[in-house]
Each structure stands twice: as structure tokens, then as C-alpha cells.
Amino acid sequence: MSQKEIIYFGDPMCSWCYGFTNVIQELRASYSDRASVRLVMGGLRPDGTHVVDDRYRNFLRGHWQEISERTGQPFDLTILENTGWIYDTEKACRAVVVARRLKPEVEWEYFAAAQRGFYHHNHNPNDPESFARIGETFGIEREVFLKAYADAESIEATQEDFRQARSVGVDSFPTVLVRDERGLAALTIGYRPLQALVGPLEHWLGQ
């Protein structure tokens, strides 16, 4: 493994992370031969206490429209027609961890698919079946996915990702850190376009 590491802290249900999708994909494609690139689930709202009421719905609608305008990512706002559902991001994060456990080579692609599932296709973010269906598109059998999704190892592995984020002070997403023999440094905390990251990244890689 390369001495240099790029670590992306994200959450499938983080709207700015969805806006950041193309940036992180291009970054991986351009730099994975010069540094290892690792994905860590950040846990934006993992406690199951955020109920989507009228006020929260109105906030999300404006927030998502702003992100779509700034990043070009397509949002379907239909899911916001309903209130009373729980904005719990642990479940989506756990689904990515399950994909990592069962088929590590599809982790990044599964992460992006889970983002599209929620923001563009309005999948139920609290239904394990919705995540299992995404898994099937990557060749993971439904029953295998659901069993792994419910087991204690996946739940604990997801919490370990959250702890990794908190242990280095990451509590907003997307965040990209870089690590080398000198330690950790922030490439970006929050959304930034790719062109804003290339210069600092090239400088770091050249050191």
C-alpha cells in the first residue's frame, strides 16, 4: 500500500456528499495510482431522532435545491411530500459497510448507488430491502445482504467507522483528509469543486 493515503469521510444520506459525488469519483480515478483512497462512513444523523416534520421538510427542500443548482446533481423532491419519516443515516451507512464486507471491490460504487437511490429515486432510507435491491445490482444475493445487514458484526463495523471519524475530529461531511508519514491534514472540509482540490493535492503528493 502507498505511504500516502486519501481518506474520504461521507454519508450516503448527506446531501452535500451527494453533490460531491462526481468530485470524489474523479479524484479517485485520477489519484488512486499515487495514493490509496479509503472510504469511511461518517454518520451524519445516526441516532434515529430526526423526524421529518413540516419545518424540517421545508429546510431540506431549500437545501437540496441549492445543492442541485451548485453541483448539477439531480434531486427528486417527491419524498419530501411525506412527513413523519425518520431521517436516520445509520441504516444507509450500514448498507455501505455491508457491501464492503461482502464484496469490497464494489464499495465505492455501492456508496454512489445508495446516494442515487435516496436522492434521485426516493428509496425508503429505513427499509433494508431497498438497500438489498441495490446490492443485487452488484451481484450480492438479497438473502445474503439482509442477513449481513442485521448481524452484530455489521452494526459494530458501522459504529467503528463513526468512531474513526470522530477520533480525528471529523463531524461534517464531505470531508477529505490526507495522511502521510507526517500525519493527517485536511484537503477539504465541506463541498469544493475538483479544480479547487487539484493544486493542494498535487502539492501534497509532490512532497
CATH of the domain at 117: 3.40.30.10
Residue 156 confidence (pLDDT): 98
| pTM of the predicted structure, to 2 decimals | 0.95
Where b means 16+ CB within 10 Å and e means fewer, 83-116 reads eeeebbbbbbbbbbbbbbbbbeebbbebbbbbbb
Alpha carbon 129 to its chain centroid, in Å, reads 19
Q: What's the structural domain count of the chain?
A: 1
pLDDT tens profile 132-177: 999 999 999 999 999 999 999 999 999 999 999 999 999 999 999 9
Range of the domain at 15: 5-206
